[in-house]
Amino acid sequence: MKKLLSVLVILLLCLPYSSAFAEQGDVVYSYTLKYNGKDYKLKNDVLKDSYYGRVFFPLLEILQIVDPETKQTMKMEQEPNPAAPNNSYIDASYYISFKEQIFKFVGRDSSIEVYDKTGTVRQSKEIQIQTTKIEDAENPMLYVPKEFLEQALGTNTYVSIESSNSEKLKLVIQSSDYKADIQENNMVIIMKVNDPWMYVNEDVKRIDNVAYSTPVVKNGATLLPISNIIKELGGNVAWDGADQRVTVTLNDHEVKLWLNKATAIVDGKEKSISVSPTIIAGRTMVPLRFVSDNLGVKLVWDKENQIIALYNGDFQFIPVFYDGYFVMDSKNNEVRAEENKSSQVKSTSPIDKNGNKIQVGDRVICGFFYGKVQQVDGGRILVYWDGKDNLWVQDKDVDYVALLAGINYKDSSWIDASRLTIEK
């Protein structure tokens, strides 16, 4: 066995650069993998080729997250080589079995062959790979570039790289089924301090249907009646009057809070709380950030506009500013929309909610309002709003509801393309 390992070490060290071990000049980065919404911290780092600047990912470790049945084996095989004695040489080949595919990596010539389970070759190509140093000479970790990783995972899988700086990478992998589910189930709720309304995925609803309570700020914490909000996010709220306790459940988490008590129970463990639940105007007001943080809900606080945004689900992009919501007058709306278009508009293309391209002259819908597209500027759409849903919006309320929706009724205003639906 020792003799075999010695031969293998010599063979591998003689490989050309494109398939050699990570050299001292190569840069090693730590990274995280997010697969279908769940974060994984892996044992192996990523490698960046200091000469070519390409990033390489540990193939086997990633494939085993996607499919735990993935396996890698090594075989010493006789490969053809007219220049060698007997027209052949012995080389190490590595086989990775992943779902319905088998990948064969031949070290000496940096080639890869892709087989199906019947043994039929589906593809053969040259690729640039890297391998780890010989900690386990019989089973080294093979590193591949992102484009091969995408090919290995298949066309029904989406792969992207997020980077906050050059040394912190996140590899995001989503299956097509998961991507469709999150697009359907993602929930966004946007509220404003001292305002009784909230946007629920762009629909306008009351925060409190009983007393029309509004979010208030007390000792640096936002307090509000939380029942309707949690229900919209898919959770439940229970009130125990005898114990003066609120129990909130969402995303497999449970938070218990008591009126005027500085401690709470989160998933069975006691936590201190800076601002306790309290009664205001007969309604139980709960500290929103404490609850959202412990339920796994992302909270964004736009201090300048006094707006709170809640995100429950898996989002690729979360805005920081919300100037387009709760605008108080038409003139202010036009000015702020122009001044803050880069922060308001998250879309870069004129694509509506259903994936259709918006063009000048199209009739579009936003909530209870209808209008005609006058101008298209990337993801910004200028619409003249000339109609409304008379069943839901009475004439006496139209100006206020339009302001809540961030548009100018019987006037033109800019709006993000992702908020619109082309009228059929």
Q: How far apart are CA 330 and CA 340, in angstroms?
A: 15
Q: How far apart are CA 419 and CA 408, in angstroms?
A: 15
What's the pTM value of the predicted model, to 2 decimals?
A: 0.49
CATH of span 330-422: 2.30.30
Answer positive or negative: Cα dihedral of 248, 183, 308, 299. Answer: positive
Residue 420 contacts residue 381 (beta carbons within 8 Å): yes
Helices H / strands E in the chain, number of each: 9, 32
Q: List the structure tokens of 77.
A: 């095989």
φ/ψ of 125, rounded to 5, equals -155, 165
Residue 419 contacts residue 322 (beta carbons within 8 Å): no
Q: List the structure tokens of 267.
A: 């998933």
Residue 105 contacts residue 129 (beta carbons within 8 Å): yes
Q: List the structure tokens of 89.
A: 């040489």
Residue 247 contacts residue 230 (beta carbons within 8 Å): no
Query: Domain extents for the chain?
Result: 2-181, 186-312, 330-422
Element (H, E) at 189: strand 187-192
CA distances from 186 to 170, 305, 399 (A): 21, 24, 29
In tens digits, the chain (424 residues) has pLDDT values of 444 434 333 333 333 333 333 443 456 667 788 888 788 888 887 777 665 667 888 888 999 999 999 998 888 766 555 555 554 455 677 888 898 888 888 755 556 778 887 777 767 655 556 655 434 555 677 888 888 888 888 878 888 876 655 556 778 888 887 777 766 778 999 999 989 999 998 788 899 988 888 999 988 999 999 999 999 999 999 999 999 999 999 999 999 999 999 999 999 999 999 999 999 888 899 999 999 999 999 999 999 899 999 999 887 678 888 887 886 443 444 444 444 443 344 567 888 888 889 999 999 999 889 999 998 888 889 999 999 988 778 887 787 778 777 788 888 888 988 889 998 7
Type of residue found at 394 = Q
What is 186-312's CATH topology? Copper Amine Oxidase; Chain A, domain 1 (3.30.457)
